[in-house]
Amino acid sequence: MTRHELVDQLLKLSTEERMQAAEELWESVANEPDGPFALSDEQMRELERRIDEHERDPSTATSWEVVRARLLSRFE
């Protein structure tokens, strides 16, 4: 089966079935150890540093509402 034929078959699924298929495909890509979302050693160290910093002082965190408002204000 060609990719085009496969896509045609997928598009015949119900909305719920297409959403489930999309989720399963996304998870298969996102979970690849060397996939497009894999972190470099440097990125992993920085992430761990930030987590440690947050755990030492959680009061330094910014809520999603504040972050969202800042982002949206940039585009108004």
17-51 pLDDT, tens digit per residue, is 999 999 999 988 888 888 888 888 999 999 999 99
pLDDT for 11: 96
Distance CA 23, CA 47 (A): 26
What is the pTM for the complete model shown? 0.49
pLDDT for 63: 94
Contact in structure between 18 and 10 (CB atoms under 8 Å): yes
Question: With pLDDT > 90 as the criterion, what percentage of the chain qualifies?
Answer: 78
Distance CA 11, CA 5 (A): 10
Average pLDDT of the chain is: 93
pLDDT for 62: 93
